[in-house]
Amino acid sequence: MRRLLTIGLLLAGATASAQAPKPGVTLDEKHHRVVVVAGPFDLEPMPPMEGMSMDAMMPDTLAQAFAWPVKGWFRGFESEVIDAHGKPLPRDLLHHFTLINLDRRTLFDPVAERMAAAGLTPAAVVAPASVGTPLSPGQRLALYIMWHNGGTTAQHGVYLRINLLWLPANELPQPLSAFPVNLDVNAHYGQSNTYDVPPGRHEKSAIITFPLSGWLLGAGGHLHDYGRGVRLEDAETGKVLVQTNAVLGDSGEIKELPFHVLALWDRGLRIHAGHPYRLIATYENPTRDTLRDVMGEMMALFVPDHPERWPTVNYGDSLYIADLNGYHAVDLLKTLKPAPVAEH
């Protein structure tokens, strides 16, 4: 299984040069980045992931919790898996990371915003300087990591280093305020969003209704092995609006699930509030066994016509709390204070 989770517009950049990692959070104002280093982790060998339940894997681990230190716009990330000397390690040790914003909710459900995430690929996702997700000082963020050492030997002293790139509040011209949105064919926050796929071709779909009108600037997907693609259709006309097809390896494993930039020559894909859209995830299971615990998601960057109408977070909402319980993060709402943030 190879996760591909991504937000933003696709512009891959180089990761930081090798240097010994120092766990913690560092504000680099000169280069407009917040550097998050998590580790060290010791990773024992794990069985192959094919056919495994997600519950059988190493769970998501809270690696860093901190308060965002500056006012401005988040525009993407660069990430790398490194050893104690800052030298690159195989990226497939990382199943995925997820950066959650506890102080803003998602568009469709009253749960914490998934601000950024990635797995084996891409290592970097950076939007143009004309686009960014607004952030204010003090907003509480939590970084979670799931590792998977598929080799035969243990890996010791493993670190994840992430550069969170931002644009300052006085940036001119002012960037468009864009927000990550996650479309899921089996969304059940507070519960598992995975499902099973029998042998043969299988499609699972869900009707998606946006509460706000706006524009989709770009979209990518997330599938497990034997996934073929994710597409978004107009539920009334059946017209395909966005489709991303998986690039597979010889054994059916996902090598790439391309991210589509929709705003190259115009404003992107127009989304109308209240209009029904259909999300469809397709799998081709060539085995005689049922595939367990797969997912079907589309991640996109959305520019609402009226950002001020974005729904506000309700910390007491039962679904918000149930979702955080899944990350063992409820106590962060009471205890999270700004982590020591060094400047350089």
Query: H helices of the chain, where?
Result: 318-326, 332-335
Q: Is the predicted pLDDT of residue 17 greater than 60, yes or no?
A: no
Residue with tokens 């899921």: 184
Question: What confidence tens digit (pLDDT) does each residue in 99-139 have?
Answer: 999 999 999 999 999 998 877 666 788 888 889 999 999 99
Domain borders along the chain are: 24-177+309-343, 180-306
Mean pLDDT of 24-51: 87
Q: What is the pLDDT of residue 344?
A: 53
What's the Cα-to-Cα distance from 152 to each of 2, 45, 148, 196, rounded to whole Å? 18, 6, 12, 28
Mean pLDDT of 320-341: 76
Rg for the chain, CA atoms, rounded: 19
Fold of 24-177+309-343: Jelly Rolls (2.60.120)
Which among 307, 232, 220, 218 has a CA at the least distance from the CA of 275?
Answer: 232
* Predicted local confidence at residue 252, as pLDDT: 75
The pLDDT mean for the chain works out to 86
Report DSSP letters for 222-262, one per residue: EE-TTEEEEEEEETTT--EEEEEE-EE-TTS-EEE-PPEES
Cα separation, 134 vs 169, in Å, equals 9
Q: Which residue has the tokens 């943030």?
A: 341
User: Is pLDDT of 141 > 60?
Assistant: yes
pLDDT digits (tens, 9 = 90+) for 269-293: 999 999 999 999 999 999 999 999 9
State pTM to two decimals.
0.83
Q: Compare 207 and 260 and report the one with higher pLDDT.
A: 207
pLDDT grade for 340, boundaries at 50, 70 and 90: low
Return the minimum-mean-pLDDT range out of 128-137, 184-193, 195-204, 296-305.
184-193
Burial of 262 (0-12, 13-18, 19+ CB in 10 A): buried
Neighbours of 237 (CB within 10 A): 8
CATH top-level class for 180-306?
mainly beta
DSSP 3-state of 202 = strand
Same fold, 24-177+309-343 and 180-306: yes
